Amino acid sequence: MNGRNVNWFPNGKSLATIITESAEISIYGIKPSSVPIESIPGGFGYGTLFVVGGRGDEGYGYGYAIYSGSNATGSMGVFAIYDKGSGWRERVSKSDLLSLSRTLKYDDSYDDAKNLSIPPGIYGVNPNFKNIPEATYGLLEITTDTVNNWRFLKFIPTNIKSHYLMFYNGYDKTWSEWKCFTSAS
């Protein structure tokens, strides 16, 4: 089988230097003996590094790099973004992605769907929970933007015959009414 030769990252070279010296897009193979001096948490394993140089007309290094592969311990699915100003600022592994906010939470410290301090997530609620459209058990899913100016609530009662949506507009501090969507069967 014929393939392309791998362009290995020049071992010991600074990723920040490559970004600031180039205005190109480069793809490098990464292996433990061929890595940038700026390391990801856990060290590099084997993977691919995409580098977008950002020299630009003014000589500023606004490029970035994206690494996809494994870390030195063999953990697969590592994803990291490098920016010259802040270094490796994000790292997500496949197992991290599976444990994000899709886990059902039970938290008795909250009792009102309109409580703006409830973090985004999916919550099991009971009939005593305030401001839900039916006094029954169910799931309350809360999705927000990063500054809580938009807040979407979705309530699904345990009978699953309908679901409800509500929206909070943080700019004018108003809530919509619950909108009911009924199941066809």
Token pair 């394993």: residue: 45
What dihedral angle (degrees, nearest 10) is formed by the CA atoms of 144, 102, 88, 78? -150
Provide the pLDDT confidence category of residue 17 given band limits of 50, 70 and 90.
confident
pLDDT of residue 78: 58
The per-residue pLDDT for range 21-45, each reduced to its tens digit, is 766 777 888 888 888 888 777 778 8
For 103-161, strand residue ranges (E) read: 104-105, 121-125, 138-144, 150-157
Instruction: Please indicate, yes or no, whether the overall pTM of this predicted structure exceeds 0.85.
Output: no
pLDDT reading at 102 higher than 60: no
Task: Look up residue 103 and give its DSSP letter.
Answer: S
pLDDT of residue 88: 66
- pLDDT band of residue 159 (cuts 50, 70, 90) is confident
CA dihedral 17, 22, 27, 31 (to 10 degrees): -20
Chain centroid to Cα 185, Å, comes to 35
pLDDT at 183 over 70: no
- Rg of the Cα atoms in the chain: 24
pLDDT at 153: 92
Q: What value does the mean pLDDT take over residues 131-151?
A: 87
Contact 132, 140 (CB under 8 A): yes
Structure confidence at residue 133 (pLDDT): 95
Output 47 or 21, whichever has higher pLDDT: 47
